[in-house]
Amino acid sequence: MDWKRFGFIALVVIVLFSAVVMIGQVKQPPLLIVTSMLATTIAVATPLTLGALSGVYCERAGVVNIGIEGMMLSSAFFGWLGSIYMFHIFKMSAGLSIALGVFFAILTGLLMALLHAVLSITFKVDQIIGGTVINILAVGLTGFLNRQLFFGKESVFGGSVPSSPGVLPTIHIPLTEIVGPICGASASCLENLTAINRVFDQKPIAMGAVLLVFFSHFLLFNTRWGLRTRAVGEHPKAADTVGISVTKMRYANVLIGGMFAGLAGAYFTIESVPSFEPLLTNGRGFISLAAMIFGNWTPIGAWAAALVFGASQAMLINMQIFRDVIPPQWAFLQESYIVGLTPYILTMFILTGIIGRTTPPAADGVPYEK
Amino acid sequence: MQSEKQSGSLTRQILQSISEASLVPFLAILTAVIVGGIVILFVGGDPILAYRGLLQGSFGSTKALSETAIWATPYIFAGLAVALAFKGGLFNIGAEGQLAVGAVVSALIGYALPEWLGFDVPAIIHLPLVVVFGVIMGGVWAGIVGALKAYTGGHEVINTIMMNYIALNTTSFLLNGVMKDRSPTNVIARTPLIADSARIPPIFEGLRVHWGFVLALLTAFFIWWLLTKTTLGFQIRTVGLNPDAAKYAGINVKRIVILTMALSGMLAGLAGVIEVSGLNYRHELGFSIGYGYDAIAIALLGKSHPLGVVLAAILFAAMRNGATRMQFLTQMPVDLISMLQAFILLFVAADAIIRYIYRIKSKGERVVLTRGWGG
C-alpha cells in the first residue's frame, strides 16, 4: 500500500468524522463522538473486511470471485437458521446454539465456495458467470427457504418466525481497569479513558476479523503456502513445472475464501442483529470487492479500504442520532437515501484509478489449461 | 457449423443447427426441473402437482397466455439489454437500475407534463415523449459506466452494481418525496397515475396484453438486424471478441464500449418504460426487484441471440406467471421460481456439467463472455 492511497483513505475518514463532530458537538463532547464513531466503523467494517479477505485469497490464487455477496447472504441465512434450529428443535442452550450458528455459517460459505471452485476450476466456466450463478442461487434459495420455513404452516416452526437465541456478546477489554490508576483522582481523565475503551470493546467476529487481517498478511507473504498461492495466481505454468499442483492450491484458497465469506455472513445474523430478511447483505459483497481492488489485493490494504466504507456507514448511523441538531443549510444530511449514496459513489470513484492504478494477479480469472 | 458437410437441404441444415444449439439449454432446463422437483419433495410438496399448476397458470387459458405475454415483455427488453452487452464483451449487471431510472422518468413525464404545460397533451405527442425520455435516461445511466470503463478502466461489473444501488436510493428518495402520490388514501412510495395520453393501449378488448409485447418482438428483430447486418453491429461484435484486434482494425474501441453500454441501458430503460406506460400506469417502488438478475439468466439461456432471448424470456415469464396457480394448488411459495431459475442458470452457464451428465461431446468452441478485472 503506497502513501498516496493511504493518504486518500486517511483524508476521507477525517472528512467523514469531522462532518459528524461538527454537527454533533452541540450535543456531545467531540472525544465521545469520535470514539463511538470509531467503534461503529470497526464493527460495521467487519463484513467488508472479511469479504475483502475472501476475495484476496481467491484472487491471489487466480480465481475471480464475484460470488462473495451470494456466499455472505446464504451464510447469513443458514447460520441464523442453524442457531434457531439448535435452540428450538434440539433444545440446546442459547450460547451453544449461537456458537453452532457461526459454525453453520462458515460451513455454508465453504459449500458455496466449493460450488464456485467446481465451476471455475474443474469445469472452467467463465468465473464471473460462475460468481453470478452463486449470487442468483443465494437469492433464490434463501428467499424460498425463508418463506417456506417461517411462513409455511406445515413447517417445523409452525408458520411463524421463532425467537432467536440472541447475538454474540461484546467482549470487554479491561483497558480502563489497567491504565486507570495513572489518572489518579481526575474524573475527566477516567471519563475519557472509558470513552477510548469503547473502541476496543468489540464483538468476537469484529475482533477476529482484525486478527485475521494480520494473520492473512503473514500467511500470504511470509510462508511457503503464501508463496505457492501467489505463484499459481501469477504464473500457474511456472508453478506447475516446479511441482506445485495448481488445481489443489486454487481449490484450497477458494475454500478458505468461502469460509471467510461465511464468517462475514455470520456477522449479519449472529453478531449484528438476530434476524434475517431477504437480500439483507445489500451489496456489501460487491463493496468488499472494491475494497480488495483498492487495497491492491493485499490484506492490510483491503482492510484500510474496508474501514473507509465502514466510516461512511458509521457517518450515516450517527447522522440519524444527531438528526435534530443538523443546521438548516445542511438539511440534505437528514436524507438517509442521499447520505446512503456515499459508499457507492466512493466505490466508483476509487475504481477510476485516480488514486493510483492497481494491478491484479497476472493469471486472475484465467482457467488453467495444462 | 457451416463447415460441416451436409447432404440435406437448407431447411434441414437450419433445423439441425437449431436443434444442436438448443440441445444443451433444453437439457439444462430439464435438469433444473428435476432438481427443483427434488427440492419440492424435500420441503414436503408434490412436484407433479406443482409443475401442473405452473403449466396451467401460464398457458392454460387465453387470459393465462395474455398474462404470460405481459410478464415476457420487460423480460425480452432486459434480456436483450444484457445480451447486447455480452456481444460487445461487456457484462451489464445493472439492468435493474437502468430499468428503474427509465421507469421513474417515464412516469414523471407521464403524469407531470400536462400539469407543467397546463393543457392535455395529445397521445401522439405525449406517448413518444414518455418513451424517448425513459429510454434516454436508461442509456445515460449505463453510458456513465461505459465511459468509466473506456476512459479509466473501472470495471463495469462493480460499477453497474453500484449504479443499481444509486438508482435504488435515488428512486426511493424521489418516490417518498417530491414524486409521491399525494392522494389521501396512499401510504406507499409510488407516483400518481400517468395521463391517459401516456398509456400504451391493450391489443385485445378485455385482456391486459398491450402493444408493448409487439414492440418487444420488433425490438428483438431490430437488435438481430443491428448486430448481424450493420457496420455498428460488426464493430460491437469485433470489440467483444477481441478488443486489441478491433483497435488495430481501426475501430474506435472506446466509442464502441460507451455506445454498447448506452444501447444496452436504453433497452433496459425501455423495459421500465413499458411497465409504466403499458401495465402499471405508475411507478411503484420495488416492482422491478430481481429483473436485472433474471435478465442475465435470460440472456445466458438464450445464448445472447435475440431469438433465443425471446424464447427464454417467454419461458421465464411463464414460470413467473404460473407460479400463482402453483401456489394455489400446492401452497409452494412463489419464491420457488427464483430457485428454479437459479438452477437453470447454473446448468446453462456451466454447460460443461450438462455435457458431462449427458455425455454430449463439446465442439471445442468456447465463447468468451467476460474478461477478468483487466478488461
Amino acid at A329: Q
Rounded percentage of chain B residues whose pLDDT exceeds 90:
56
Lowest mean pLDDT among A18-22, A335-339, B280-284: A335-339
Q: pLDDT per residue over A75-107, tens digit each?
A: 999 999 999 989 988 888 989 999 999 999 999
**SS3 (DSSP) at B234:** helix
| Chain B partners within 8 Å of A313 (Cβ) | none
Rg (CA), chain A: 22
- Give the pLDDT of residue A25: 86
Is the model's pLDDT at B366 over the cut of 60? no
Cell of B41: 419433495
Decide which of A190 and B21 is more confident.
Answer: A190
Give the integer Cα–Cα distance in Å for B96 and B167.
9
- What separation, in Å, do the N-terminal and C-terminal C-alpha atoms of chain A show? 34
Is the model's pLDDT at B6 over the cut of 50? no
Amino acid at A175: L
Instruction: Give, for B252, the enclosing helix (H) or strand (E).
Output: none
Q: Is B165 close to A132, i.e. CB distance below 8 A?
A: no
Residues 6+ apart with CB under 8 A from A158: none
Is the model's pLDDT at B1 over the cut of 70? no
Is the model's pLDDT at B2 over the cut of 50? no
Instruction: Please tell me if residue A137 touches chain B, with a CB cutoff of 8 Å.
Output: yes
Q: Is A341 close to B370, i.e. CB distance below 8 A?
A: no
Give the integer Cα–Cα distance in Å for A316 and A341.
10
Q: How many CA atoms lie within 13 A of B366 on its CB side?
A: 9
* Residue indicated by cell numbers 425463508: A146
Q: Is A139 close to B162, i.e. CB distance below 8 A?
A: no
Instruction: State mean pLDDT over B201-223.
Output: 94
Is the model's pLDDT at B3 over the cut of 50? no
Which among A135, A136, A293 has the least Cβ separation from residue B373? Answer: A293
Instruction: State mean pLDDT over A327-338.
Output: 79
Instruction: State mean pLDDT over B31-51.
Output: 87
Q: Is B370 close to A123, i.e. CB distance below 8 A?
A: no
**Phi-psi map region of A303: left, alpha, beta (phi>0 left; psi -120 to 50 alpha):** alpha
**SS3 (DSSP) at B190:** strand
Residue of chain B minimizing CA distance to A342: B166
Lowest mean pLDDT among A268-272, B18-22, B122-126, B312-316: B18-22
Which among B44, B333, B368 has the least Cβ separation from residue A144? Answer: B333
Q: Which of A79, A66, A56 is nearest to B156 (CA)?
A: A66
**SS3 (DSSP) at B202:** strand
Q: pLDDT per residue over A104-127, tens digit each?
A: 999 999 999 999 999 999 988 888
Question: Do A270 and A79 contact (CB within 8 A), yes or no?
Answer: yes
| Chain A partners within 8 Å of B360 (Cβ) | none
- Give the pLDDT of residue A40: 93
Give the integer Cα–Cα distance in Å for A221 and A238.
19
| Residues constituting chain B | 375
Give the integer Cα–Cα distance in Å for A156 and A88.
10
pLDDT, averaged across chain B: 88
B80-116 burial code (b ≥16 CB/10 A, e <16): bbbbbbbbbbbbbbbbbbbbbbbbbbbbbbbbebbee
Question: Do A333 and A339 contact (CB within 8 A), yes or no?
Answer: yes
**SS3 (DSSP) at B185:** coil
Give the integer Cα–Cα distance in Å for A249 and A74.
25
Instruction: Please tell me if residue A280 touches chain B, with a CB cutoff of 8 Å.
Output: no
Instruction: State mean pLDDT over A10-20.
Output: 90
**SS3 (DSSP) at B251:** coil
At residue B364 the predicted structure's pLDDT band, cuts being 50, 70 and 90, is low
Q: Can you name the residues that pair with B202 across neighbouring β-strands?
A: B210
Lowest mean pLDDT among A233-247, B2-16, B271-285: B2-16
Interface test with A, best of B24, B158, B172, B304 (most A CBs within 10 A): B158
Q: Is B341 close to A136, i.e. CB distance below 8 A?
A: yes
Q: Is A137 close to B290, i.e. CB distance below 8 A?
A: no
- Give the pLDDT of residue B375: 40
| Chain B partners within 8 Å of A354 (Cβ) | 152
Is the model's pLDDT at B4 over the cut of 50? no
Question: Do A176 and A194 contact (CB within 8 A), yes or no?
Answer: yes
**Phi-psi map region of A29: left, alpha, beta (phi>0 left; psi -120 to 50 alpha):** beta
Q: Which of B358, B370, B371 is nearest to B24 (CA)?
A: B358
Is the model's pLDDT at B224 over the cut of 90? yes
Amino acid at A162: P
Is the model's pLDDT at A262 over the cut of 70? yes
- What is the count of residue pairs from A and B with beta carbons less than 8 Å apart? 155
Which among A337, A344, A360 has the least Cβ separation from residue B372? Answer: A360
Distance from CA of B169 to the nearest CA of A (A): 5
Interface test with B, best of A73, A128, A147 (most B CBs within 10 A): A128
Burial of A91 (0-12, 13-18, 19+ CB in 10 A): exposed
Residue B325 burial (CB count, 10 A): 19
Alpha helices, H only, chain B: 10-42, 47-59, 62-87, 95-117, 123-152, 156-176, 211-229, 231-241, 243-248, 253-274, 291-301, 306-330, 336-349, 351-357
Q: pLDDT per residue over B74-112, tens digit each?
A: 999 999 999 999 999 998 989 999 999 999 999 999 999
Q: Is A123 close to B349, i.e. CB distance below 8 A?
A: no
**Phi-psi map region of A329: left, alpha, beta (phi>0 left; psi -120 to 50 alpha):** alpha
Q: Which of B198, B219, B176, B182 is nearest to B307 (CA)?
A: B219
Give backbone dihedrals phi and psi of A52, rounded to 5 degrees, phi first.
-65, -40
Residue B160 burial (CB count, 10 A): 30
Give backbone dihedrals phi and psi of A174, rounded to 5 degrees, phi first.
-80, 60
Q: Is B170 close to A337, i.e. CB distance below 8 A?
A: yes
- Give the pLDDT of residue A1: 53
ipTM of this predicted complex?
0.85
- Give the pLDDT of residue B219: 97
Instruction: Please tell me if residue A351 touches chain B, with a CB cutoff of 8 Å.
Output: yes
Residue of chain B minimizing CA distance to A115: B346
Alpha helices, H only, chain A: 3-24, 30-44, 46-60, 68-84, 94-117, 127-151, 175-179, 187-200, 204-222, 224-234, 236-241, 246-266, 284-294, 299-321, 336-339, 342-351
pLDDT, averaged across chain A: 89
Residue ranges per structural domain of chain A: 1-31+295-358, 45-168+203-278
Quote the Cα angle for A65-B25-B159, to 5°. Answer: 30
Question: Do B316 and B340 contact (CB within 8 A), yes or no?
Answer: no
Give the integer Cα–Cα distance in Å for B272 and B98.
8
Distance from CA of A64 to the nearest CA of B (A): 7
Q: Is B349 close to A341, i.e. CB distance below 8 A?
A: no
At residue B199 the predicted structure's pLDDT band, cuts being 50, 70 and 90, is very high
- Give the pLDDT of residue B306: 95
Instruction: Please tell me if residue A128 touches chain B, with a CB cutoff of 8 Å.
Output: yes
- Give the pLDDT of residue B58: 92
Residue of chain A minimizing CA distance to B289: A279
Residues 6+ apart with CB under 8 A from B250: none
Distance from CA of A108 to the nearest CA of B (A): 17
- Give the pLDDT of residue A331: 76
Q: Is A133 close to B346, i.e. CB distance below 8 A?
A: yes
Q: Is B350 close to A125, i.e. CB distance below 8 A?
A: yes
- Give the pLDDT of residue B287: 58
Instruction: Give, for B362, the enclosing helix (H) or strand (E).
Output: none
Is the model's pLDDT at A3 over the cut of 90? no
